[in-house]
Amino acid sequence: MRPAAPVRSALLAGLVTAALLTACAPDGQTAAPTPQTSAPPAPSPSPTGPAAPTPSPPAATTPASTSSAGTTPAAPPSPSPAPGSCRALAESMTPEEQVGQLVMVGVPATSDLAPQTAQVLAEHHVGSVLLLQNTEAGVDAVARLAEQARDAAGAPEGTTTMLAADQEGGLVQRLQGPGFDTIPSAREQAALSPEELEEAAETWGEQLRRAGVDYDLAPVADLVPEELEQVNEPIGRLDRGYGADPGTVASRVAAFVEGMDEAGVATSVKHFPGLGQVRGNTDFTADVVDRTTTGSDEELAGFRAAVEAEVDSVMVATATYTRLDPDHQAVFSEAVVTDLLRGELSFDGVVVSDDLGVAEAVADVDPERRLLDFLSAGGDLVITADPALTDEMVGGVLDAAEQDRELAAELPGHVTRVLALKAERGLADCDD
């Protein structure tokens, strides 16, 4: 059983402090803390929690090794984050607030916020909310729901809850009605020139902003071969892709990202490393496997174009790619997230998961492991379409971090990336 939240917060805060003090010390030494120059951490909610260690003068340097060049001095301690930086803001949060920034909870866009969902948002300091289901209520109704979600979540000081939607176009346009244009499918968007699509995307983004939505989980960069269009359930059969030509996909993805950016709306290109070669839809089908994708330049053309266009985030698929990592679904794969996306594509922004709440693809994964394993692979922001699973997902990370100093010390890095995305859109008071 987990300790009560205040006790757990104090325990984890102590682990974070200890980890930060020892992270850069050579074997057998403890680095003396650098005087704090950022805003002090928020006080633990537990009045009896362990206090942070009192800074002591640096110990005399002990030689780590001796060579012809002489003694190698110990590495200096890491500097404290700059005041006003997103790292400093992340480190000022309680552990519960930190993990809350790494969760995006789905709520129906078709009605006012349910009381039980409002309680989940508040209890877990949820940093992002995803509007699900199609509504034709229009901009004003969506704006009212967005405000309800923000009020319920009660964001930590210096932050605002981020509202997201799947606003691709065609069959996947969640927000409709007065004030929203009818957005054509990606297949139809591909017939526009890049300039025309960028201008249209800016208009669609402005409509989202008026509705209180900050973040569009689009565009789709999955390249679907022509011979698979009618059997590819997640993309081809739904006209969600820009086609089979890598150049067309790349140019339209970049145009959509840039247009939304001009409107002040964040974007998330998806579904890395591509669902164009699969048959089943991971939302409704278990064990979806891609035995073809290798991560070639052609296959990833749309994702590379998005990264070059400075897309805010990349969404990772829940399929398994046997030629990249046969043992893990992409969303839980270090080879896919860290090595391929962050390494080869040099993406340093937010990595977001496809749904890890109700998707059939993860039904066999313990909910307490879903966020934890995603973070371990290199991800940052997890989506759960089922608010009821938030407690298990958050609790799994907090429980693990109490026992694992390395994990506890890594949490602020994930939070920093999310806060930097928010800051870019006016939702966090910090500098990336």
Q: Note the pLDDT of residue 81.
A: 75
How many other CB atoms are there within 10 angstroms of residue 363's CB atom?
Answer: 8
Q: What is the pTM of this model?
A: 0.82
DSSP states along 250-285: HHHHHHHHHHHHHTT-EEEEEEET-STT-SS-TTT-
Closest CA to 277 of 288, 292, 296, 287: 292
Q: Are 174 and 165 in contact (CB under 8 A)?
A: yes
Find all residues with CB under 8 Å of 320, minimum gap 6, and list them: 287, 288, 289, 290, 326, 328, 329, 330
**CATH value of 103-424 in 3.20.20.300, 3.40.1160.10, 3.40.50.2300, 3.40.50.150:** 3.20.20.300
State residue 432's pLDDT score: 75
pLDDT score for 83: 74
Those residues of the chain that have pLDDT short of 50 are 1-77
Question: Which residue is it, tokens 């989980």?
Answer: 217
Instruction: Note the pLDDT of residue 78.
Output: 53
- In this prediction, residue 222 carries a pLDDT of 98
Q: Look up residue 54 and give its two tokens.
A: 């009192």
How far apart CA 72 and CA 114 sit, in angstroms, is 61
Q: What is the pLDDT of residue 190?
A: 98
Residue environment code for 140-172, b if the CB has 16+ CB neighbours within 10 A, otherwise e:
ebbbebbebbbebbebbebbbbbbbbbbbbbeb
pLDDT attached to residue 80: 72
User: Residue 31: what pLDDT?
Assistant: 35
pLDDT of residue 296: 96
User: Cα–Cα distance between 80 and 87 in angstroms, integer?
Assistant: 9
Domain layout of the chain by residue ranges: 103-424
